[in-house]
Amino acid sequence: MIDALRYEWVRLWSIRSTYWLIGIALGLQLVLTMIIAWQLPSSGPLSGGDDVFAVLVTIGASLGIAPLFIAYILGLVGVFSMGHEYRHGMIRATLTALPNRLTVLMAKVVVTALVAGAAAVVCVLVALLGALLFGVDMPSGDGFWSITAGTVIYTMLFTVSGLAYAAITRHETAGVALLLLVPTL
Task: Please give the mean pLDDT across all residues of the chain.
Answer: 84
- Could you tell me the pLDDT band of residue 65, with boundaries at 50, 70 and 90? low
Query: What's the pLDDT tens digit per position in 109-145?
Result: 999 999 999 999 999 998 888 888 877 777 788 888 9
| Total residues found in the chain within this entry | 185
Which of 24, 27, 57 lies closest to 127, judged by CA?
57
